[in-house]
Structure 1
Amino acid sequence: MGFKLSSLAVLCAAALSNMAHAEPQQVDETIVVIGRQAETPLDIAANVTVIDAAQIEQTGVTSLAELLRGRSGIQISDSNTGPTLAMRGFSGSQAANNTLILLDGRRLNNTDIAAANLSAIPLQQIERVEILSGSAGVLYGDQAVGGVINIITKAPQAVGGNLTLGTGSFNRAEGQGDIGGNLSDNWRYYLSGAYNRSDNYRDHNANHTGSVLGRLQYQTDMREFFVEGSYYDNKRQNPGALSEDDLRSNPRKASAFQADDYLHEMTDAWRLHLKQVLGSHWQMVADINYSDTLVSSISYGSHGQNSRSLLEFNPKFVGNYVTDKGDLKWVLGGDVHRGEADFDLSGTDRSNTQTMTSIYAQAIVPLTRTLEYVAGGRYAKVKDELRDAAVYPGGTVLDENAHALALGLNYRPTDAQRWYLRAEQNFRFAKVDEQAYTSPGVFGLKPQTGDSVEAGWDWHPAKQQLGVHLYRLALQDEIVYDTSATKPVGGMFNGANVNADESRRYGADLSWYWQPLSQWQLGSEYHYVDAEFTEGANEGKALSWVAKHSGRLFSSVDVTDNWQLYAEAQYLGSRYMEGDNANEGERIDSYWLGNLAVNYHRNAWLASVRIDNLFDKTYVSSGYYSSWGNGYYVGDGRNVSASISYRF
């Protein structure tokens, strides 16, 4: 990216100049976490999609992963123990480290390479999902490389509750409930719980999953405070990978080498939140988050256990001023993260305490009533206090730092139309379990850094929405696992975490939504990404597991006042197996999935039936390349689910 800190200083000085001629205005109390301030999607110089509660209900989906599949270019990889979400051209193994997942602004990404567990969030708790496609290194820092997905849960603003019961294929049974109410004029409460069990599609893949959440909230015109606690417990059998012969003969079978394998994850999380109005222009928002996870497992017959915890402090100040050209908006903040992890696995005895601190600032400055620019920057430092029995038996300390700058323009000639241009840097630091597993002579991985440039046009007339978004993402020192790297000290076979050769991704996102009649909606999305290495031995080769083409079509019809029909087709193009960065093997076939849902509404009742993979397509949901023989995981076959809920 061509601009420097001096350029950023000039732009911020211009923002301060605008502030000097500003008039007071009360800060909007509603904080939209995407953008870290109150905005609408067209007011942000970025590609932002919002899925609201009505759309969630319309689809009839039973899981967050199925809700997000194919939307906003999201590609899902699932090794039959839980999905990972990739945005902007990342492989399944790298998706969890380059797509930031938030729950009400709290990071769900783990301190290690394990993906955020989406099954911990029952759909019944979700108010909306915000998806920012593209880098957001200034506002969110580490791991906000391909995009940010923020899941907004229901807040205790109303009195009442909901009860949902569900059943379906593979002996699935589910129950969810929530209730909220007022304790006084200023105090409110919210409680929810969920339980799910299923044998799932493959043999030896049953799960038992439960979660509870409680929130106590205090709110006045000047202050909001709440304390929230949750607990999540998931035990799932791991059926292992299939050979190519097994995939063709019986995709539901379990691996004979992993007959007893399972994962059991238990997480408790706590959150303190304070929002305080500081006069007519500013408000302060601060969160303290803590989570603690214990994972017990059997892998290839060997018992293992790892624990991780994360403590975060995230204060920020949000300012809003009215000028004669429009609103001038500021976000000033800092993030402090301290993560601890201990690994006691077969062949691994390692612990790491990772401390990350950063500060950031961003200003949205009006140039005219229709044109504004955004400028911002972040600086971050990380320290790993690492001990590994094989590599660092006496312990070591690794220090790194990174920064990100952003500059964008947002032009809104009319209320229904906008154009934007945006350049932003991004970075990610190595996870706690990546640093020690490196080739001999490599002492710590450098931060992964990148530059993102994108442009877009959106048009939202009364009954249509059109969007065209183009981007280029270039990465340096990308942190990946390379199967050809020299094995680490104590390693059993070749392969290690490395800083890879440079890579770049070109892409385009096209979308069109239309409501020709009040009872009929239809739409389409198409996503293209060309991801390849630009240096090194694999120069010109496609990045593995990234499909060039993906998309979806949907139609929703209100057949009567009570009956609604929803139909959807999802497409994912061919791609190389995960890890086949030299493109030596055959591509995995592309596939279409068809989904159908029927909903019935009457008063406070809602009944839904959904069929996923209507035509029972066999497809590969995750796969890993090896010269010894590839390992395949399959997606679910035809899956019928039914639910009934009552809102009181």
Structure 2
Amino acid sequence: MRYLKRYQSVTMALIFCSVGNAVAENADNSYQDSVDYILPTIKIDLNTKSASSKQKGLTTSQLTSPVQIQLFPQNNNQSIENTLSQNAWVDMIEPSSPNPKLTIKGQRASVLFNGIPLNQFNSQSQFISLIPPQSIAKIEINPTSQSVLYGSMGLGGSINIEQKFIDHNLYQIGTSASYPFGGGINSFVNQVLDSDKSWAVQLATNTNTTDGYRDYSRNFNNAINIALMHQSQTQKLNINFSDSYQYLQFPGSLTEQEVNDNPWQASGTSEKSINHTVNGQIDFSQLLDKNWHFNLKTQYFQQWSNLIFKNPLYGSSTQGSSLFYLRPDVVYKDDRFKNTLGMESVYQTFTQSYTTSASSQTNLALFNQLDIFLTSKWQSGLGGRFEHSYTRGTFTNKSPQVTAHQTVNIGAGNVYVQYNWNAKANSRFSVSRAYQLPFIDQSNYTSPNISSEFGLNPQTAWIYQLDNSYKDKRISVKNSLYWMEIRNQIAYAGNDSSLFGYNTNLPPTRTIGSLSSVDYQLFQRLSLGGSFALNINTFTSGELYPSTSSSTREQQSVAGNQVPGQPPFSAEIHTNIELLSNVNLWLQERYVSSMYADGDFTNTLAKQPGYFITNLMLNYHVQNWYFSLSIQNLFNKFYYSYVSTAGYGQLSYYPADGISGVFNVQYRFD
């Protein structure tokens, strides 16, 4: 929710590590397989030392040269979104909100679990922190437009979390303690159900509490996850169900005067959010014959929320949302062609006690992606998508009450050509037409002059992108250069004097940038790596109201100004040292450049300062015991996690917590 601008103390989770075998040569580098992913995907693999699994039957082909980074499953009380934010390609906006937004190239990324979008609703990445890390096979960060395959939230790229099938009994129990205060317990059970080892059931529970001493925050999560899984030579079935409870107490923001007086302590008053979420998913795949493959993905999600604001004028509000998602597709693949034809159907609802009594959105889409292997060196592809969206809602904060609607018909497309220089290097040039549809959000309903429509247009973009990849036994390098011409970019206008602010369409913007990553194994027990993101997003024309306190505001030209709330540059470097055969030390230095406060479109207010932070992880295992220590912000650096405009000429500062750490112990029953 765009009006909840706040920060919660979150300890570093499942952080990125690159170890000795992390850049091992892929055994299968045939050009026929390279089409299964769009370069330059970053691939995060599970630590095979901790929980090996043998994939059967319908396995996914490997990218010709993925960047492989390990997840350490002993950190079970940590959040996946914080794992992702440790990479410079991914930016986490509003980290303290119940569902922080994850962006790539400054645009929202489509967050997927087993290829099923999790952030269709409200533009946010729903409950990914509740996915059990023990059941994750890999996470792929793809910076190319995914609008053809995944629709409205695929403009910036995709983050796909893939579940694994474990073909042996596995039982784990763990506990953790955190600084300044908190801790939790977790358990994971994988039970094989048949002698052929083709059926298994997984049960995971997680309870975790984290308190912050600097910002008076509290984060309590309690979740249970059940999965029934089946894999054979011709069939795959994953049925997932989760039920979770989340209590969040957010720090109050600081005014400029409070920042000057004592920036190291947030306000003692805070906002609270209580969320109860249930989610069910079915992922089914059937190999029809040698070349034909059928997939069916479906999801039902329901969330209930209660928001309690520190401002007595707001009081409290209740919020409810639901979503039903259905996606069948048929894939044909032979030695020269791969074609994916499918459709998507999404129905979602939203209510908010203060702004809208009822709203709904129905989306129907058809898509087709064709990839052609021209020669052993050349391949190409093109895809297209057509989507129909109908939204209807009743605005209770209007006088008189207003019922509004919006109908959108929109399309997406892409074309690319890829050249495989050899088994180690390849290049791809692509042109994409991408979009983001207006989402259901109470901030849309408070936009000025709304009478019968929602007031937001779809965001569209032309994206020109060159991707390059190189990988051998010691080094893996990825680079992506992109040019994006964006119309109607959807943003939050927090500098308005209305109660919650509102969402708005920006004038035309242009984004020029580059994403890079490198991992190098210097010695058998020492590896180095890093990731870098340059993202220059500026207005090409247009006028907007300034973020000033003047009672007679006039629109000002914003041509050439930076789009606020997006760091122009971010980077991280890390090293992993295998001190002993069972002891690993990981160190990371992160940098985020200064940026204009979110909502300051005319660039008239003070910038959010840039900052460096240092993170550390130490892992040790002996027999069936696994120990880990992770420390975020090792040197207790003061910085702001978020800065936003609030009312004319005002800035709201949300200071991040200082040094925090988690110590985790796990025992695995073999």
The TM-score, its normalising length taken from structure 2, stands at: 0.84
1:237 aligns with 2:258: no
**Structure 1 gap ranges (5+):** 1-37
Deviation at 1:227, TM superposition (A): 2.5
How many residue pairs get matched? 592
1:305 is matched with 318
Q: In structure 2, which of residues 114, 129, 136 is the aligned counterpart of residue 119 of structure 1?
A: 129
Residue 655 of structure 2 aligns with an amino acid whose one-letter code is V
Deviation at 1:118, TM superposition (A): 3.8
**Structure 2 gap ranges (5+):** 1-30, 48-69, 544-557
Partner SS, residue 421 of structure 2:
strand
Deviations 1:262-282 (A, max 9, x none): 100110011223211111111
Across the aligned residues of Structure 1 and Structure 2, the Cα RMSD in angstroms comes to 2.4
Partner SS, residue 71 of structure 2:
helix
CA distance in 2, matches of 1:264, 1:359: 37
Partner SS, residue 401 of structure 2:
strand
Deviation at 1:120, TM superposition (A): 2.2
CA distance in 1, matches of 2:34, 2:182: 37
Structure 1 range deviating more: 462-471 or 153-162 = 153-162
Matching of residues 116-265 of structure 1 within 5 Å: 116-184=126-194, 185=196, 186-251=198-263, 253-255=265-267, 258-259=269-270, 261-265=271-275
Residue 75 of structure 1 aligns with an amino acid whose one-letter code is D
Q: In structure 2, which of residues 650, 653, 662 is the aligned counterpart of residue 629 of structure 1?
A: 650
2:340 is matched with 331
Partner SS, residue 398 of structure 1:
strand
CA distance in 2, matches of 1:114, 1:408: 29
With over 3 angstroms needed to count, the CA separation of the structure-2 counterparts of 1:187 and 1:164, relative to structure 1, is: same
Q: In structure 1, which of residues 478, 499, 519 is the aligned counterpart of residue 489 of structure 2?
A: 478
Deviation at 1:645, TM superposition (A): 1.4
1:9 is matched with none
Residue 418 of structure 1 aligns with an amino acid whose one-letter code is N
CA distance in 1, matches of 2:519, 2:34: 16
CA distance in 2, matches of 1:152, 1:563: 27
With over 3 angstroms needed to count, the CA separation of the structure-2 counterparts of 1:194 and 1:620, relative to structure 1, is: same
Residue 87 of structure 2 aligns with an amino acid whose one-letter code is R
Deviations 1:120-141 (A, max 9, x none): 2343443321111132111111
CA distance in 2, matches of 1:203, 1:297: 19
Structure 1 range deviating more: 189-198 or 621-630 = 621-630
Partner SS, residue 638 of structure 2:
coil
1:401 aligns with 2:409: yes
CA distance in 1, matches of 2:230, 2:46: 24
Q: In structure 2, which of residues 578, 584, 598 is the aligned counterpart of residue 558 of structure 1?
A: 578
With over 3 angstroms needed to count, the CA separation of the structure-2 counterparts of 1:289 and 1:396, relative to structure 1, is: same
CA distance in 2, matches of 1:379, 1:464: 40
1:56 is matched with 71
| Contact 2:294 2:328 (C-alpha < 8 Å) held by counterparts | yes
Structure 1 range deviating more: 199-208 or 546-555 = 199-208
| Contact 1:126 1:154 (C-alpha < 8 Å) held by counterparts | yes
| Contact 1:604 1:646 (C-alpha < 8 Å) held by counterparts | yes
Q: In structure 2, which of residues 510, 523, 526 is the aligned counterpart of residue 520 of structure 1?
A: 526
Residue 71 of structure 1 aligns with an amino acid whose one-letter code is N
2:446 is matched with 437
Identity of matched residues, %: 22
| Contact 2:444 2:502 (C-alpha < 8 Å) held by counterparts | no
| Contact 1:42 1:418 (C-alpha < 8 Å) held by counterparts | no
With over 3 angstroms needed to count, the CA separation of the structure-2 counterparts of 1:247 and 1:164, relative to structure 1, is: farther
CA distance in 1, matches of 2:81, 2:450: 40
With over 3 angstroms needed to count, the CA separation of the structure-2 counterparts of 1:476 and 1:553, relative to structure 1, is: same
CA distance in 2, matches of 1:40, 1:247: 54
Deviations 1:420-448 (A, max 9, x none): 11111111111112543332156232211
Deviation at 1:226, TM superposition (A): 3.6
Matching of residues 302-381 of structure 1 within 5 Å: 302-322=315-335, 327-345=336-354, 348-381=355-388
1:510 is matched with 516
CA distance in 1, matches of 2:655, 2:132: 24
Partner SS, residue 430 of structure 1:
coil
2:65 is matched with none
CA distance in 2, matches of 1:42, 1:227: 28
CA distance in 2, matches of 1:581, 1:396: 28
With over 3 angstroms needed to count, the CA separation of the structure-2 counterparts of 1:277 and 1:118, relative to structure 1, is: closer
1:100 is matched with 110
Matching of residues 24-35 of structure 1 within 5 Å: none
Deviation at 1:389, TM superposition (A): 2.3
1:530 aligns with 2:536: yes
CA distance in 2, matches of 1:270, 1:279: 29
Partner SS, residue 226 of structure 2:
strand
Deviation at 1:42, TM superposition (A): 7.7
1:282 aligns with 2:303: no
Q: In structure 1, which of residues 572, 575, 578 is the aligned counterpart of residue 595 of structure 2?
A: 575
Partner SS, residue 238 of structure 1:
strand
2:502 is matched with 496
CA distance in 2, matches of 1:174, 1:66: 18
CA distance in 2, matches of 1:579, 1:342: 25
Matching of residues 383-462 of structure 1 within 5 Å: 383-391=390-398, 393=401, 395-433=403-441, 434-440=443-449, 443-444=453-454, 445-462=456-473
2:563 is matched with 543
Deviations 1:582-625 (A, max 9, x none): 11112222111111121112222221112111111011111102
Deviations 1:320-339 (A, max 9, x none): 112xxxx4211111110000
Deviation at 1:357, TM superposition (A): 0.6
CA distance in 2, matches of 1:621, 1:424: 33
Structure 1 range deviating more: 124-133 or 455-464 = 124-133
Deviation at 1:543, TM superposition (A): 0.6
Deviation at 1:641, TM superposition (A): 1.5
| Contact 2:570 2:593 (C-alpha < 8 Å) held by counterparts | yes
Deviations 1:100-154 (A, max 9, x none): 2112222221522555344323434433211111321111111111121112234
CA distance in 2, matches of 1:639, 1:481: 31
1:12 is matched with none
CA distance in 2, matches of 1:73, 1:182: 38
Partner SS, residue 614 of structure 1:
coil
Residue 44 of structure 1 aligns with an amino acid whose one-letter code is Y
Partner SS, residue 509 of structure 1:
strand
Deviations 1:505-554 (A, max 9, x none): 10012222111211111112222111101110211100102111111111
| Contact 1:88 1:507 (C-alpha < 8 Å) held by counterparts | no
